[in-house]
Structure 1
Amino acid sequence: MAQKVLDAQPFSRLVRARITRFGEGAATLEIAAREELRQQNGFLHGGVLAYAADNSITFAAGTTLGPAVLTSGFSIQYVRPATGAELVAHAVVVHTGRRQATVRCELFSVAQGRDGADGGGADARTLCAIAQGTVLSTA
């Protein structure tokens, strides 16, 4: 169901975002690092990271507040450029009130895809940004 909601967002379809974890106060969003999502130096564009943080934060909050939620605000700190084959944004609710949730998100650049397409072993994950946001229930 979470992927259906994500697919209903035209921009999410544009970046080809996938929800790979959803439930129990957490959500993980993944995006393949395609050429058209990069900036002039070859890194994933900061706007793509901000989108991933915003959506994973909101989906995580939705697991505790219900499906009718909107991001009230979030901040993001870029730690290092995202250079991998995939971006993974993992968000976890740190506090939920009656109508509001506070959520932290870590964004990782992954050197290879989850399927091990290059024949290598475990994925090499590098922290590239940290975000925190507040999500409000609209119900």
Structure 2
Amino acid sequence: MTGLDLRTAQKVLDSQPFSGLVGAHLTEFGGGAATLEIEGRAELQQQNGFLHGGVLAYAADNAITFAAGTTLGPAVLTGGFSIQYLRPATGTALVARAEVVHTGRRQAVVRCDLFVVGEGGAENLCAVAQGTVLSATSS
């Protein structure tokens, strides 16, 4: 365990200018998991009215990295990730829930499920992702 908490993690997220641009915020952080949420604003949509795939990829990348940070510590970098889009992302919000599948001394493998929230609050799975996160410390 890293000793980091949700408040500290949100400060780290807030220090990323792009995260501010998309309006991302963390709603859960700790114990090998992190949840990142983004309001489904029109500015984040593509030409057909769906949330842009790049927004989903951003959310997966950050949720994966924050989840890994709960086990590896705050100095982490994405080693790589893949994302599979399952259905168009239409809704009032995007929720990315990431959970560490395996963690070692210097890297973690993390799974992330991405949901869109409908008008009534129901969540629909729209994408899945998996990534590897590396510790940026030299110990």
Structure 1 length as normaliser, TM-score? Answer: 0.92
Name the structure 2 match of 1:21: 28
Cα-to-partner distance string for 1:34-85 (whole Å, 9 max, x where unaligned):
0000000000000000000000000000000000000000000000010000
Name the structure 1 match of 2:38: 31
Count of residues in Structure 1 that have an aligned counterpart in Structure 2: 130
After TM superposition, give the deviation of residue 16 of structure 1 in Å: 0.5
Structure 2 residue aligned with 1:56, among 52, 56, 63? Answer: 63
Q: Which runs of 5+ in 2 are unaligned?
A: 1-7
RMSD between aligned residues: 0.6
Identity of aligned residues (%): 77
Name the structure 1 match of 2:54: 47
After TM superposition, give the deviation of residue 86 of structure 1 in Å: 0.1
Whole-Å separation in 1 of the counterparts to 2:97 and 2:88: 17
Structure 2 length as normaliser, TM-score? Answer: 0.92
List structure 1 runs of 4+ shifted beyond 6 angstroms. Answer: none
